[in-house]
Amino acid sequence: MKYISASFYCIVFLLSTFAILQSSAKVHVHIQNRQGKNINIHCKSKDDDLGYHNIENGTEYSWSFNPNFWYTTLFYCAVLMDPDPVWYHFDAYRQSRDSYRCESQCLWAILKHHSLIGYNQKTGNWERFFFRSDRLL
């Protein structure tokens, strides 16, 4: 009985160490503006407001964070593309969707005509995504 509980605790210890190491690997999000004009971006999570940033065409905005243990990390962004008075929304990192496709680097590019592509680190392909838009400024 003693041995069983010792190995049980050992397994629990190893599993939690593994889970903590997995979830604490830093993820870097990069959002490139290839739209042709300056854009304004505002990204947030439940706990962090990253503020409003102006990104010139041909440059990028980036930040990094540690995804959480429960796979619920979510950073969402709103993008304003002059002269369109609409905020376009997308999830820049949703852990349940992205923990595999962008394990350490989450690259996004905003192209002309409100096109959005995201880089899949596992396959090496750029994938098409879509903004959600609303009429609230």
Ligand X SMILES: *[C@@H]1O[C@H](CO)[C@@H](O)[C@H](O)[C@H]1NC(C)=O
Q: Which residues bind to ligand X, rule: CB under 6 A?
A: 34, 36, 57-58
Q: Select 34 or 53, whichever has its Cβ closest to ligand X.
A: 34
Q: How far is the CB of 90 from ligand X (least distance, A)?
A: 20
Q: Select 59 or 96, whichever has its Cβ closest to ligand X.
A: 59
Q: Select 35 or 95, whichever has its Cβ closest to ligand X.
A: 35
Q: Select 26 or 37, whichever has its Cβ closest to ligand X.
A: 37
**Are 129 and 90 in contact, with CB atoms under 8 Å apart?**
yes
Please report the beta strands in the chain, taking only residues with DSSP state E, as ranges in sequence order.
Answer: 27-33, 39-44, 49-55, 60-65, 74-81, 87-94, 105-111, 115-120, 125-129, 132-134
Return the half-sphere exposure (C-beta side, CA atoms, 13 A cut-off) of residue 97: 13
Q: How far is the CB of 38 from ligand X (least distance, A)?
A: 10
Q: Kind of pairing, strands 27-33 and 105-111?
A: parallel
Nearest residue to ligand X on Cβ basis:
58
Q: How far is the CB of 108 from ligand X (least distance, A)?
A: 14
